[in-house]
Amino acid sequence: MATGLSVEFHGIGKSMSREFPHRPVLAVAGVVFHRGRVLLIRRGREPARGQWSIPGGVVRLGETLEEALRREIREETGVEAIPLGPVEVVERILPTEDGRIRFHYVIVDFVCRYKEGVPCAASDALELRWVPIERLGALDLPKETRKIIEKAHDYRGTAGLTFWPLDRSQESAERDSPPS
C-alpha cells in the first residue's frame, strides 16, 4: 500500500523552485509606516535584484498570510510590524524570451504599522531605509511599487484605520524610541 501513497501525495512536502515554478508562488509584502515614513528594502535576489521594494516573501505551508508577513518583515529588516489589512493583490509573471515562465508570484500586499525593532538589512535585503512619503520620487522605485505605497498610505482614511496606537502609553513609548 505504500506505493499508492507516493503517487497520491506526489509533490506535497517538496519545496518548489521559485524560478521556473510549476504553479504560481503565493507571497506577501508589507508597506510598513512609521511617523510619515515607509520602510523600503533594496532586493538581494531575483526577480528585481538591486531594486527598491517593500519587504516580503513567500508563504510557507501551514502559515497564515499574516504570520508569513510578520516573519518575512522580521527576517528582512529586524522590525516587528502589525498588519492592518490587505491593500492590493498583484500578479507578477515574468516570462523568458522563449515564452517560458521564469517567475510567477501572486503577492498579497498589506498595510502595516511599525511596532518595534531596530531596522537592519538582513536575509534577502541588501539595504534598507525609512523614506519620508514625500521623498519617494527621489528613489529609483518601480512604478507599481510606488502605486501600492500610495494606496496603502491612503488606506487608513478609507478604512477608518489609524497607523498610531489608540493606547496613549504605547504612543508615548513609540515616540520615545524611534527606529534608526
Task: State the Cα–Cα distance between residues 83 and 124, nearest whole angstrom.
Answer: 20
What are the residues facing 34 on neighbouring strands? Answer: 37
Catalytic residue among 19, 127, 144, 171: 127
> What DSSP designation does 60 have?
P
**Hey, what's the cell of 63?**
502559515
Give the angle 124-81-151 at the CA atoms, nearest 5°: 90
Residue 127 bears catalytic tag: yes
DSSP letter string, 116-152:
E------TTEEEEEEEEGGGGGGS---HHHHHHHHHH
Amino acid identity, residue 71? Answer: R
**In this structure, what are the phi and psi dihedrals at residue 90, rounded to the nearest 5 degrees?**
-120, 135
Task: State the Cα–Cα distance between residues 98 and 15, nearest whole angstrom.
Answer: 25
- Residues involved in catalysis: 127
